[in-house]
Amino acid sequence: MRNHSLLLWVLLFVDGVFGAAEVSVSVMKGDSVTLHTDVSELQSDDIIEWMCEDNLIIAEVKNNKYEIKNNIPTNGVPDRSYEGRLELDHKTGSLTIKNITSQHEGTYILDIRGRHLISKNFTVTVHDGVKNISVKKGESVTLRTGVIDIQRYDWILWKFEDHLIAEINKETNQFILYDSSDKRFKDRLQPNEKTGSLTISDSETTDSGHYHLHMSSSTYTLQRIISVTVKGLSSIVIAVISVTVALVVAVALMIYCWCRSRQRSFGEDQLNQSQDQHESIHDSITTLTIYT
Ligand SMILES: *[C@@H]1O[C@H](CO)[C@@H](O)[C@H](O)[C@H]1NC(C)=O
Ligand SMILES: *[C@@H]1O[C@H](CO)[C@@H](O)[C@H](O)[C@H]1NC(C)=O
Ligand SMILES: *[C@@H]1O[C@H](CO)[C@@H](O)[C@H](O)[C@H]1NC(C)=O
């Protein structure tokens, strides 16, 4: 008992020093967020309780049994339901909330007893963010982390579908771009070293797809999918343009031919007229000759 309370004091002291007991987590609607227990491997006598604000247990580990509570009262708010949204990591006991909505904002309380003794509160805030970007071919696209400063994150990476395109090296605090291995983005990626956001310039229709963001700090991990649509000229637009051009050319040709034929007949008329005149002059000359 004495040992236990001593340990508790030490823990409180350590927590107090590092401020680890109170964690604030900022995510965007639709993100998937994992709250870390900081346990590298659970022991069989560890008891874990994850609670939401009303002290309702949403997930627990007891006697090596893992349980996610799916029927937590949500007072008839369907968006608040955790059904299908929770995952427990069997090794660490970390809790993942998938596709988070603003209804899931609030404090999540972690309580671990047994071999490990951990008590932490995670205050989760959910912001609105652009997850669906649509641009015209040639415009630039900015994929945002939504954070002002990436200092507190240990690693950040951006993927396009399954390909790694950018990563932050925490040691050097530098962005590494993988645009030369994937020729698609060659010289078109611009990272923001402060916010971790990534801009794709001069977009191509082949840039359309899902971009994955992974951000990880010591206390939580965030995963986000941003879908990008780059619109080129659609085949219908191309067809309409082709038909219009063909029509304009045809009309121009018709007008040209019509003018030409008009000119030709006008010329013939003139020729006939001058011939008539010529003949009459000739006649007069003849007449003149007769008179002399
Ligand atoms: C966490 O929150 C609960 C309820 O709001 C509070 O009783 C507890 O003291 C907090 N724990 C820590 C470690 O801050
Ligand atoms: C995410 O949650 C929202 C709101 O409950 C829901 O409409 C949407 O279908 C969910 N998306 C996925 C991918 O589960
Ligand atoms: C995102 O945009 C695409 C294309 O504009 C659309 O088909 C899709 O339904 C949108 N998805 C969401 C979740 O709004």
pLDDT at site 172: 73
Confidence class for position 11, pLDDT limits 50, 70, 90: very low
Q: Does the beta carbon of 103 sit less than 6 angstroms from any atom of ligand 2?
A: no
Considering only CA atoms, which residue is closest to atom 11 of ligand 2? 99
Q: Which residue has the tokens 């030709």?
A: 264
Higher confidence at residue 173 or residue 139? 139
Ligand 2: atom nearest CA of 30 is 1
Ligand 2: atom nearest CA of 81 is 5
Q: What string of DSSP letters covers the chain?
A: -HHHHHHHHHHHHHHHHHTTTEEEEEEETT-EEEE----SS--TT-EEEEE-TTS-EEEEEETTEEEE------TT-GGG--TTTEEE-TTT--EEE-S--GGG-EEEEEEEESSS-EEEEEEEEEE----EEEEETTS-EEE----S--TT-SEEEEEETTEEEEEEETTTTEEEE-TTTSGGGTT-EEE-TTT--EEE-S--GGG-EEEEEEEE-SSEEEEEEEEEEEE---HHHHHHHHHHHHHHHHHHHHHHHHHHHHHHHHHHHHHHHHHHHHHHHHHHHHHHHHH-
Confidence class for position 267, pLDDT limits 50, 70, 90: low
Ligand 1: atom nearest CA of 121 is 1
**Residue to probe by mutation, ligand 1, list 8, 55, 121, most atoms within 8 Å of CB:** 121
pLDDT at site 276: 56
Ligand 1: atom nearest CA of 22 is 14
Asked whether 200 and 143 are in contact (CB, 8 A), the reply is yes
pLDDT at site 283: 53
**Residue to probe by mutation, ligand 1, list 22, 52, 107, 109, most atoms within 8 Å of CB:** 109
Mean pLDDT of 209-221: 95
Distance CA 122, CA 217 (A): 13
The CATH code that applies to domain 132-231 is 2.60.40.10
CB atoms within 10 A of CB 37: 24
Tell which CATH architecture fits domain 2-127: Sandwich (2.60)
Residue 132 has pLDDT above 90, yes or no: yes
Fill in the amino acid letter for 208.
S
Chain-wide mean pLDDT for the chain? 82
Q: Does the beta carbon of 99 sit less than 6 angstroms from any atom of ligand 3?
A: no
Residue 277 has pLDDT above 60, yes or no: no
Measured in Å, residue 178 CA sits from the centre of ligand 2 at: 32
Considering only CA atoms, which residue is closest to atom 2 of ligand 3? 132
Distance CA 237, CA 241 (A): 6
Q: Does the beta carbon of 123 sit less than 6 angstroms from any atom of ligand 1?
A: no
Confidence class for position 239, pLDDT limits 50, 70, 90: confident
Half-sphere exposure for 258 (CA within 13 Å, toward CB): 6
Measured in Å, residue 97 CA sits from the centre of ligand 2 at: 12
pLDDT at site 54: 79
Provide the residue ranges of all domains of the chain, joining segments of one domain with +: 2-127, 132-231, 235-292
Q: What percent of the chain has pLDDT over 90?
A: 48
CB atoms within 10 A of CB 82: 20
Considering only CA atoms, which residue is closest to atom 1 of ligand 3? 132
Query: pTM to 2 decimals?
Result: 0.74
Confidence class for position 201, pLDDT limits 50, 70, 90: very high
What are residue 209's phi and psi, to 5 degrees? Answer: 150, -165
Greatest Cα pair distance, the chain, in angstroms, is 158
Mean pLDDT of 236-252: 79
pLDDT at site 266: 60
Between 78-82, 216-220, 231-235, the lowest mean confidence (pLDDT) is in: 231-235
Residue 228 has pLDDT above 90, yes or no: yes
Q: Which residue has the tokens 């962005």?
A: 175
Asked whether 229 and 133 are in contact (CB, 8 A), the reply is yes
Tokens coding 267 = 């010329």
Confidence class for position 156, pLDDT limits 50, 70, 90: very high
Ligand 3: atom nearest CA of 132 is 1
Confidence class for position 288, pLDDT limits 50, 70, 90: very low
